[in-house]
Structure 1
Amino acid sequence: MIPSALTALECESQRLAAVLNALDDDAWTAPTRCAPWDAAALAAHVTMALGRLGPMLDAPEPPAALVDAAGYYRPDERFSPETDALRLDSAAEAARDGGPAVAARFDTTWRSAVGRCAAEPASRRVTTRHGDPMTLTDFLTTRVVEVAVHGIDLADALHRPRWTTREAAAHLTGLLLGPGHDTTLERLGLDPVAFIAKATGRDPFTPAEHTEAEARGITWLALG
């Protein structure tokens, strides 16, 4: 069974918080593949991604959900040079307080987000900062993407084994491959975390893997 979005987000956020709270000063300045961010700025970005849940839940509920989790990651103005510059600058600014402060904010933010979402009905809808009317469940799935995929980025930057939780990995492979994701992974010969890294451009697919993934109906996400 694919874990719920909220369960996956809670497990993955808890794992990331444990890592961040244990980092030493040198680790926070490690460069990441998400240039120009170092580890502190990348963690600050993930914190802000979760912090958007509060204002969205405070806002009026849209009458219908028109965008799903995969549709949220579509290539449009959300990846424009202006939006990218704002995204980069805001995370860098938030990281200037230093790594320990970033870790503390992340811990407070994920706990608040999960707690608030747990109190919402299954039918809850929200409007994203990009104007997308979505179910809260679908938006939570996008937050699992943010925490888990950038967790892979951080692990690689710190030269550590990737710490992606079983719950988040199952949720994301379900998003990317649909209900038959376990069978597809077996045919690809990839474990879930390796597949996620390849499907999100962190590692390259071999030509054979790419062909098989396409044949199995992989959902490609536009990621900044």
Structure 2
Amino acid sequence: MRAVRTGFRDECARLGEVLRDLDEADFDRPTGCAPWTVRELLAHVRTGAGRLVDMLAAPAPARAEVDAAGYFGAAKFAPAVDADRIDAGRREARELDGAALVADFDRAWRATLDAVDAQPPGRVVRTRHGDAMALGEFLRTRVVEVAVHGLDLAAALDRRPWLTPAAAEVVADLLTGGHPAPAELGWDRLTLIRKATGRADLTDAERAAVDAAGFRWLSFAG
């Protein structure tokens, strides 16, 4: 839990630093997460980063039934669910200008950490999809959201990825089930994450090496 919390804190704080340098034109740039602009993608990230506050205010389920890997199942990316996610991001982005959205993101992730820190060990939460999850496992999915969409934002803004070491460790471990990528690939964590989440293509040789190792990634998109 400590490593996951650190990954969430570090990645959110770094994203906030980058966002404070943007002007309104930057927020209107297109992203690779079509049809979202930077503004709309940030609205989505803001909502995801703050989602635990309301979840922790609700009654706790008796026991966890899904872990972080299970949370990223195919049902989470069904067309109807994806359309709702896209529409929500666009709708929420219209409510605030860039500076206000950045400030709101800052409030959201800090409120999440405060809420997490107030919980007892073993706390279980229920997600908006109905999954009962251990708090630490759901927070792990928040690190994925902020870190991976941070790569999308960096690409849209023509910046070098700012992925933090703590977040990279959490995300890579989740995406690979704790197993290392084949050594002959020579991937660092950033490369692994980009390849595993479809932010960079696999070459035929890379795919063959992964298949030969019996290595399977999560079903993850968007």
What is the TM-score of this pair, normalised by structure 1? 0.92
**1:52 counterpart SS class:** helix
* Aligned Cα root-mean-square deviation (Å): 1.7
Code of the residue aligned with 2:189 in structure 1: it is P
Following superposition, the deviation at residue 128 of structure 1 comes to 0.4
Cα offsets for 1:10-67 (capped at 9, x unmatched): 1100001111111112111110011111001000000111221011101111111111
Instruction: Assess if the C-alpha contact under 8 Å between 2:176 and 2:218 holds in 1.
Output: no
Instruction: Assess if the C-alpha contact under 8 Å between 1:123 and 1:135 holds in 2.
Output: yes
Aligned match of 2:191: 194
**Within-5 A mapping of 1:64-213:** 64-76=63-75, 78-96=76-94, 97-181=96-180, 184=181, 186-213=183-210
Cα offsets for 1:59-94 (capped at 9, x unmatched): 111111111101001011x32333222211211121
Aligned residues: 220
Structure 1 ranges of 4+ moved more than 4 A: none
Instruction: Assess if the C-alpha contact under 8 Å between 1:151 and 1:164 holds in 2.
Output: yes
Following superposition, the deviation at residue 219 of structure 1 comes to 2.5
Following superposition, the deviation at residue 185 of structure 1 comes to 6.2
Code of the residue aligned with 2:9 in structure 1: it is E
Unaligned runs of 5+ in 1: none
Following superposition, the deviation at residue 187 of structure 1 comes to 3.3
CA distance in 2 between counterparts of 1:217 and 1:91 reads 33
**1:193 counterpart SS class:** helix
Instruction: Assess if the C-alpha contact under 8 Å between 1:20 and 1:103 holds in 2.
Output: yes
Following superposition, the deviation at residue 100 of structure 1 comes to 1.0
Code of the residue aligned with 1:80 in structure 2: it is A
CA distance in 1 between counterparts of 2:210 and 2:117 reads 34
Cα offsets for 1:112-169 (capped at 9, x unmatched): 1012112223311111000001111110110011000000000000110000000010
CA distance in 2 between counterparts of 1:82 and 1:219 reads 24
**2:125 counterpart SS class:** strand
Following superposition, the deviation at residue 3 of structure 1 comes to 6.7
**1:117 counterpart SS class:** helix
CA distance in 2 between counterparts of 1:219 and 1:84 reads 20
Cα offsets for 1:158-201 (capped at 9, x unmatched): 110000000010111111224443xx364321111111011000
What is the TM-score of this pair, normalised by structure 2? 0.93
Aligned match of 1:27: 26
Unaligned runs of 5+ in 2: none
